[in-house]
Amino acid sequence: MARRSITVGSIQTSYGPDLETNIAKTETFIREAAGRGAEVILPSELFEGIYFCTRQDPKWFETARPVMEHPCVLRLRELAKSLGVVIPISFFEKDGPRYYNSIAIADADGEILGVYRKSHIPDGPGYQEKYYFRPGDTGFRTWSTKHGKIGVGICWDQWYPETARAMVLQGAEVLFYPTAIGSEPYDASLDTHLQWQRAMQGHAVSNAVPIVAANRIGLEDNAGVKQKFYGHSFISDHRGELVQKFDAEDEGVLVHTFDLDLIESYRADWGFFRDRRTDLYAKSII
C-alpha cells in the first residue's frame, strides 16, 4: 500500500488597497505553489485589502460579503478547481447584521466545504478587531479534503494551545494559520516574530502535527495609521523544526511534503493523546 503524503504551501507577500490587484497577486502565487507540487496552499489573513483593523472606521463594513458572494471566495474556488488544490480562503464575512473574520475551505474540486469563523478576537493598539468582528460561533473545525484532513485557525487563534489541541483531537493531520501581524504602535522597537513562531512550534511538538503559517509583509498606511508587517512565514514539521521559512521581507511561496503515515506512527509512539487526563481537566480549567 502506498504511503500517504501531503504537500503544503504558504504564501508571503504584501497587499495594497485594491481588491482586484490583491486577488490577482494571490492567484499568481497559488499557481506557483501548485506548479511546485503543493496540494494545500495557504494565503495570509484578509488578503483582500490592507489590514484595516489598525483603526476604527465604519466604511470597512461595506467591504464584507456573504461567503458565496465574496469575490475572494468566488475567484479562488474556481482556481482551486482548475488546479486541483485545496485553498483556505480568508475573507471578511457578512451574515445578516453579523460580521466575522472567516475562512472558507475550497476543496480541490472547487466545492466550499464550509466556513470557520475566528474564535479569539484581539483588541489593542494596531489590532482593533473587536470593533469589526464578532467572536466566531462555529467552534474549532477540521476538514476532510481531497488531499488530507486539515485544521485552520486564524491569527490570534494561533497563540492558544486549546485551538491546536481541539483540531488535532478531531483528526487534523496538518494545521494552517493565516496571519496578519507585525509592529506594535506603542513600541516601534518591539519585534515579536520569535514568540509568534515559537508558540506555534510548541503546538507542533505537543500535538505531533505539522504547522503552516502565512503572514503578510510591507508597510501599510490606513488613513495615517501605519503598520509594518514582519513576515517570517514558515512551515514546521511535527517535531517543531522549521523545515521552510521566510525572513521579514521575502516574497514568494514555501513548499514542503510530509509523510502522513510516518507522522501518525510518531504521534502514537509519543503517547501525548494516550496519556491525556480528561477526568482532571474539567475540574481544573475555568
Q: Which residues are catalytic?
A: 45, 118, 155
Backbone angles phi, psi at 268, to 5 degrees: -65, -40
How distant is the alpha carbon of residue 255 from its chain centre? Answer: 15
Backbone angles phi, psi at 100, to 5 degrees: -135, 155
CA distance 113 to 104: 7
| DSSP symbol at 249 | S
Assigned C-alpha cell, 269: 509512539
What SS3 class is residue 32? Answer: helix
CA distance 135 to 125: 19
CA distance 160 to 28: 32
C-beta atoms surrounding 270 within 10 Å: 16
What SS3 class is residue 116? Answer: strand
CA distance 27 to 33: 10
